[in-house]
Structure formats: structure tokens, C-alpha cells
Amino acid sequence: MTEGRQTKDRQTDNSFVSECLYSDSLSAGIYVTASVLLEYLFCPRFIYFMNCLGIDQNEDKRFKVLKGREIHEGKERVNIDYLRKRIGCIDKEIGVYMESEKYHIRGEVDEVLTLLDGTMAPLDYKYAEYRETVFRTQRYQSVFYGLLIRENYGKEVKRGYICYTRSRNLLKEVQITDEDFVELQSMIKEIIDITQRCYYPKGTRFKAQCIDCCYRNICI
């Protein structure tokens, strides 16, 4: 078991990895992080306001608080060896930084698990309670980390795990399909497109989010 191992140089040529949906000439040198993906999932216009107009979010607004909980505080470590055993984990690496030049993504995965069936899976800690469902934002963060693992280790990734530390370390499994990877690529493509072409994207479908959004005064 190797902890904190850096894997930037472990990219492999996978036959099962689908072709990238976006052109390298457009997106060369651009990397999307899980944090940016989270902003996009909250509302694509966040990418426009931040990356095209250079307007940062107000620090004390709700989204920043949510993001902080999801991305930063959730990194607190807990001993869940017994849970890993239950899901057939035979090896783990902790705090693994990875990049994928092909998919234009990078980030640090809390844990990279090797499972009994030969597949691998990300494990992500959330400093949050489990609220009857795995939210879309959390689910796609798992897919994001799954794609990083698939690219860097050359292993299949069919599931991810989320540990809700405020629900007594409840461990939830997320099924990850090839369609999820394709959908993630579409999201990354749109994030890069908005950033480079500075077009004004559609706002979120979930209008309840607009009520306390930090951009509501300038969002048309």
C-alpha cells in the first residue's frame, strides 16, 4: 500500500477509453478541476461570470459555504478499514494527485481503491450528512475522479464511493457507466467552450437556487 503517491507520470494508453469529445487545438493547456465542475453543476453561468467577466463569488454566500464543505472540510480522515473490507477493497492509496491531458482534468482523489474484481474506484469524503440520496454534484465528482483513475491506472472503473462523515461515516456506492463518462466529457467541453468563447450559457434548471445566488443581481 502506498500513501500519497504522485501519479502524474503514470498515464497509460487504454484501448477501452473512449475518444475525447473535444479538439485539442481549442483546449490545449486547459485543465478543469472537481471544484470548477461543481460550480458548473450548480449553474453553468458561474463559469461565465467567473472566467469571462472575472467576477468572483461573494465569499460569504451560500454556494461558497457549500463548496467549502464539499471540497475542503470533507478531507478529514477517518478510520473506515472495516467498511473498505466490506466492499472488497484489497488495496488503497491516499491523497493521489492525477492529471489527464487527454480529458483536460486534474485533481486529488481522497482515496484510490483497488477492488477484488480487479476494477478500481475513487473514495471521496464528504463533511456532510447523507440526505436520502446522493446528490448530482456528488455523483459527478465521483465520475470525475473515476475518469482520472481510469486514465492514470489503465483499469476499469465501474463504481465510486462516498463517505458521509456526518452520518457516522456512512459509505454509499455510486454506479459509474460509460454513459456517465461521456456525459462528464460533455460538461468539461462546455466549461472549456464557455471559458474560451465567452458565450452566455443557459442558467440552471433549478430556479430555487437563484434565490440566494451571489450573481442574481447581474444575471438576466
Binding residues for ligand SF4, rule: CB under 6 A, are 43, 45, 203-204, 209-210, 213, 215-216, 219
102, 151 in Cβ contact below 8 A?
Answer: yes
What φ, ψ does residue 184 adopt, rounded to 5°? -60, -40
* Residue owning grid cell 455510486: 174
Closest-CA residue to 159 (of 170, 143, 144): 143
Nearer to ligand SF4, 57 or 169 (CB): 57
Give the shortest CB-126-to-ligand SF4 separation in angstroms.
22
How many Å apart are CA 208 and CA 105, to the nearest integer?
A: 30
- Closest contact distance (angstroms) between CB of 129 and ligand SF4 is 23
Alpha-carbon gap, residue 59 to 21, rounded angstroms: 34
- Choose between 181 and 215: whose C-beta lies nearer to ligand SF4: 215
At its nearest, how many Å lie between ligand SF4 and the CB of residue 32?
Answer: 18
Q: Which is nearer to ligand SF4, 45 or 92 (CB)?
A: 45
Report, in angstroms and rounded to the nearest whole number, the Rg of the chain calculated over CA atoms.
17
Q: How far is the CB of 211 from ligand SF4 (least distance, A)?
A: 8
- Indicate the residue among 170 and 219 with the shorter CB distance to ligand SF4: 219
Rounded Cα gap, residues 88 and 117, in angstroms: 8
Residue 43 CB, nearest approach to ligand SF4 (Å): 3
Residue 175 main-chain phi, psi, to 5 deg: -75, 135
The nearer residue to ligand SF4, 64 or 158, going by C-beta atoms, is 64
**Nearest-CB residue for ligand SF4:** 203
